[in-house]
Structure 1
Amino acid sequence: MKCILADDEFPSREELKYFIKEFSNLEIVKEFDNGIDVLKYIESYEIDVAFLDISMPGLDGISLAKIVHKMNSEIKIIFITAYKEYAVDAFEIQAFDYFLKPYSEERILSSLQRIEESLKENLKSEVTVDKITVLDNEKMYVINTEEIYYIEANGKQIKVVTKNGEFLSKNKISEITTKLNPDGFYKCHRSYIVNLDKVKEVMPWFNGTFMLRLKDINKEVPVSRGNIKEFRRLLSM
């Protein structure tokens, strides 16, 4: 369960970081002091929770949250601010919670517990399948998921690649992810899901990333920097 902190007040950020590290299982993957850098990060990396200060340079927390919600509505937004008057705006964009400074320890611990419970419920509700429906020249086919080598999102087009050809899917890549067996498939990049059983070679790439060479087909799939740690764990690297 990955989270980010965005607050231009360093002492406030440090205090919240202490509570998260000591009293939750959330992993803080990045800290920011402005909204623009948050947006750039979320465009490339997957997170579950975002703690956002409302008053930040570059892009305020409310405007940032509206953009983030459109990009990925599953990210839980928690606002942190010294001002009560933004509460209505926060909940209009379906914020998970709203912390006032100075922080109340009891309030934060209660919210952290609710966040973890909510994320765990989401995982429980995900149902894996062993078949998926794909399209080829307007015809529909049902294929076994074990036949899939990788899935690629290119804009609104979702491509499902097998040894025998490439197909299209009407589902979003985030929707497909929840249906596939997490032990066999990994979302190694914002735009790619790879079948780990089809990986033949892991090649070091730029900026500490990897490129995956697949069996049987002349294709390579990238692993983004934000997914390197989990990928190493999955493959016991």
Structure 2
Amino acid sequence: MKLKTLIVDDEAPARSELRYMLEKAPDVHVVGEATNASEALELIRALNYDLVFIDIHMPGLSGLDVVAALKDLEQLPAVVFVTAYGEHAVRAFELDAVDYLVKPIDEDRLLKAISKVTKHRETKPAPQAPAKAEPVIEIERIPVESKGKTLLLALQDVVYISSRNDIVFVHTQDNTYITKFTLKTLEDRLKNKSFLRVHRSYIVNLAHVIEIVPMYGRSYILKVRSTQKNEIPVSRRRGQKLKAMLGM
């Protein structure tokens, strides 16, 4: 099945050139174009795109801002940034970009970016049959790995928990640790505590939330007490439960 693709660029010639190149790629079907950040956000939230090529420098919000604002989505499309400048690559990959192309785009380089996307889709694990339900055991501490030892973190010290590439990280105000628990297991075992699953990749200790920032499409960003990452996305689907727990 071809990748449903969106092109985002404020310059018409750039959009036309990229579309021309993409239409020669057998795995790509360009189904839309956006000329600015607002259009891009509206289209990506409305349609289930597989792949987005987005320029970084645009009037108003940048391409980086667009992707950051979409972190509340349960299923993000693959993102390839396209720009005339190379200095934003680090930030782009922090946003989980599949690739970063510098204009003028080389056709072979473009095909490699598409190949990365298709390989990633092919290697996604197939959904597994639900396991037999087991009794849920609540916990008061979370075991984490640290320098070859296992530490037991008190729940009040945990600011948030995140998952990336099937690895689960437990974050305190100043440190980050790895735990062998899955995010789903922690969600179940912490559900009667002050913790809430706010996104497919995040569980937050609401006791450490200091600010709630409304975002596009009835989603939110939570600001937490942390010397590391201090902004946590909340998906639209989980926003109502968040408001209920906080009495909003």
Normalising to structure 2: TM-score of the pair? 0.49
Show the 5 A alignment for 1:97-108: 97-108=99-110
Q: CA deviation at 1:128?
A: 5.3
2:156 maps to what in 1?
Answer: none
Per-residue CA deviation, residues 176-198 of structure 1 (Å, 9 max, x unaligned), is: xxxxxxxxxxxxxxxxxxxxxxx
CA contact (8 A) 1:99 1:108 kept: yes
In structure 2, the CA distance between the partners of 1:8 and 1:126, relative to structure 1 (3 Å rule), is same
Q: Hey, what's the Cα distance between the residues in 2 that align with 1:93 and 1:73? A: 14
1:113 aligns with 2:115: yes
Q: Hey, what's the Cα distance between the residues in 1 that align with 2:50 and 2:132? A: 26
Q: Hey, what's the Cα distance between the residues in 2 that align with 1:50 and 1:114? A: 13
Show the 5 A alignment for 1:16-55: 16-55=18-57
Q: Hey, what's the Cα distance between the residues in 1 that align with 2:71 and 2:77? A: 7
Q: Hey, what's the Cα distance between the residues in 1 that align with 2:74 and 2:30? A: 19
2:13 to 7, 11, 14: 11
1:126 maps to what in 2?
Answer: 126
Show the 5 A alignment for 1:48-127: 48-72=50-74, 74-122=76-124, 125-127=125-127
Q: Hey, what's the Cα distance between the residues in 2 that align with 1:49 and 1:93? A: 14
Per-residue CA deviation, residues 57-101 of structure 1 (Å, 9 max, x unaligned), is: 232101001112332454211100001111111111111110100
Which runs of no fewer than 5 residues in structure 1 stay unpaired? 134-170, 175-237
Q: Hey, what's the Cα distance between the residues in 2 that align with 1:66 and 1:51? A: 15
Q: Hey, what's the Cα distance between the residues in 1 that align with 2:50 and 2:15? A: 18
1:188 maps to what in 2?
Answer: none
CA contact (8 A) 2:70 2:76 kept: no
Q: Hey, what's the Cα distance between the residues in 1 that align with 2:79 and 2:111? A: 16
CA contact (8 A) 1:24 1:113 kept: no
* Structure 1 ranges of 4+ moved more than 6 A: 130-133
Normalising to structure 1: TM-score of the pair? 0.51
Q: CA deviation at 1:132?
A: 9.6
In structure 2, the CA distance between the partners of 1:131 and 1:43, relative to structure 1 (3 Å rule), is same
RMSD: 2.8
Q: Hey, what's the Cα distance between the residues in 2 that align with 1:15 and 1:72? A: 31
Name the amino acid aligned to 2:94. Answer: E
Q: Report the secondary structure of 2:70's partner residue.
A: helix
Q: Hey, what's the Cα distance between the residues in 1 that align with 2:57 and 2:67? A: 12
Q: Report the secondary structure of 1:70's partner residue.
A: coil
Q: Hey, what's the Cα distance between the residues in 2 that align with 1:44 and 1:3? A: 13
Q: Hey, what's the Cα distance between the residues in 2 that align with 1:41 and 1:132? A: 39
Q: CA deviation at 1:3?
A: 1.5
Q: Which structure shows the bigger proportion of residues in helix conformation? A: 1
Which runs of no fewer than 5 residues in structure 2 stay unpaired? 134-196, 201-248
Q: Hey, what's the Cα distance between the residues in 1 that align with 2:20 and 2:49? A: 19
More divergent stretch after superposition (98-107 vs 113-122): 113-122
